[in-house]
Amino acid sequence: MVAERSAQVLVASNRGPVAYRPAEDDPARLTARRGGGGLVSGLSAIGPETGAVWVCSALSSPDREAASRAGRRLDSADTGGQAVRMLDIPADVHDGAYNGVANSVLWFVHHLLYRTPVEPSFDAEFARQWAAYEAYNAAFADALAEEAAEGAAVLVQDYHLSLVPALLRERRPDLRIGHFSHTPWAPPDYYRMLPDDVAADVLRGVLGADRAGFLTARWARAFADCCADVLGAEVTTGEDGHVHVVHEGRTTRLGVHPLGADGDFLRERSRRHDVAERRQQLRAQIGGGDRRIVVRVDRTELSKNIVRGLYAFRRLLTDHPEWQGRVVHLAFAYPSRQDLAVYQEYTAEVAEVAEEINADFGTPAWTPVVLHVEDDFARSLAAYRMADVALVNPIRDGMNLVAKEVPVVSDEGCALVLSREAGAYAELAEDALTVNPYDIAETARALHEALSMPKGERAERSKRLADAATALPPADWFLEQLEGLRG
């Protein structure tokens, strides 16, 4: 029997550290796999002995089944010793909150993604989704209030759960609450696109936290600007050097924690057998022993700007025909958010543009773009090791860990073409070739420059990039946030 109010440290996120699926040999048996992302490796550093509890959402029917079989907390054997409480939120509520408000509205606002004169339209459907978002956030706040020991530290993650800090504070004023945004934050002129009450509720929700964390100072500033603009909150710099937002008599301190790559894990993982196998397969696809390699790895995500990246590669081949036959673009995309039509369409567009380039430039002996739309981490690592150039050109990105991972595992050093709109720009700009992600001609020029960089310079820059990329590994990033709540 799990005691109520026993956890000293809690984490809350939509996607948790474990995901279930039916076993292949026996569909009645559920098997667990580790969930992805830096947060998972970050939290594993805390260890089960601290009594930390991770509250997350069941994301599939097998997850729901596993959660209901387990009772209040999932079996720690499945979760690597981590205590997990998986919330069984009704599917329609989760859909409205996750696909509706979180991914179709808040994600779009923070990434400045709306494209047509009719988007967004805040209609009756949105009202239903917003009610679902409130219910979903309330379910998290209830579970956290039930699990947290007196004075416990609660770390709430991301835009799915922006209302949780305020809701939890109402339920449990004794707790120390942090919120962390893994996305950018929209500037006020764009943020005000949200209906007034929604715009204010999201900000008030996050301000329920004692500390609100961001990946860069730029996103923290945008959040403070929105608080001043929408709520009339007072923004000051405290004696501790942190930005303070004062609203309705409470102060929320803003923190900047630039999540880094997990160097030890990546180096070890990239030397395993499956990565060597993928490398051989890729070599066969690339052909011609000394061909150069430009790699990109993303989720199939609008903000990643994959289509413009492909146009820039095309422009490189046109402006510098000397590269024809001598360079291959490995473009890997992990399917993401395919419940949303706009993501399906974007994924199809990426495939079409890649095919067009191959049709226009390819020869029997050379395929210019090798596109894989599949989730295959071993293949990505193989490509990272081999690449001469990494292309990271999002139109806006909270951090972008690919930019940090490639130099860490690269065999001989890799040049980085990096968007100035990625959070990683703040730490990596000096040794990257930086671009305006909307400017296809400039991106093509940067690709040419990167491919032409002398090997020695490339290796030196790559080494410095790797050092900057691993400055704050996930475990330290997590502990920093926890420390921040104590101070």
Which residues bind to ligand G6P, rule: CB under 6 A? 15, 158, 182-183, 336-337, 398
The tally of CA atoms less than 13 A away on the side-chain side of residue 460 is 6
User: If we measure between CA atoms, which residue out of 169, 165, 172 comes closest to residue 137?
Assistant: 165
- The position carrying tokens 């934050």 is 185
The least CB distance from residue 179 to ligand G6P, in Å, is 13
Please identify, using beta-carbon distances, which residue of 15 and 278 lies nearer to ligand G6P: 15
The least CB distance from residue 408 to ligand G6P, in Å, is 18
CB atoms within 10 A of CB 269: 15
The least CB distance from residue 173 to ligand G6P, in Å, is 28
Q: Nearest residue to ligand G6P, using CB?
A: 182
347 CB contacts (<8 Å, ≥6 apart)? Answer: 300, 333, 335, 338, 373
The least CB distance from residue 473 to ligand G6P, in Å, is 17
Please identify, using beta-carbon distances, which residue of 15 and 308 lies nearer to ligand G6P: 15
The least CB distance from residue 157 to ligand G6P, in Å, is 7
Please identify, using beta-carbon distances, which residue of 19 and 444 lies nearer to ligand G6P: 19
The answer to whether the peptide bond before residue 120 is cis (omega within 30 degrees of 0) is yes
The CA distance from 59 to 56, in Å, is 9
Q: What DSSP element (H or E) covers 155?
A: strand 148-157
Please identify, using beta-carbon distances, which residue of 420 and 463 lies nearer to ligand G6P: 420
The least CB distance from residue 337 to ligand G6P, in Å, is 6
Please identify, using beta-carbon distances, which residue of 182 and 204 lies nearer to ligand G6P: 182
- The position carrying tokens 């490995």 is 330
For the chain, the residue count is 487
The encoded tokens of residue 482 equal: 């926890």
The least CB distance from residue 297 to ligand G6P, in Å, is 13
The CA distance from 392 to 435, in Å, is 10
319 DSSP β-pair partners: none
Please identify, using beta-carbon distances, which residue of 387 and 401 lies nearer to ligand G6P: 401
The answer to whether the peptide bond before residue 437 is cis (omega within 30 degrees of 0) is no
Question: In this structure, are residues 113 and 305 in contact, taking their beta carbons and an 8 Å threshold?
Answer: no
The CA distance from 179 to 133, in Å, is 17
Please identify, using beta-carbon distances, which residue of 33 and 69 lies nearer to ligand G6P: 33
Please identify, using beta-carbon distances, which residue of 336 and 436 lies nearer to ligand G6P: 336
The least CB distance from residue 474 to ligand G6P, in Å, is 13
Query: Which class for 290: exposed (0-12), middle (13-18), buried (19 or more C-beta within 10 A)?
Result: exposed
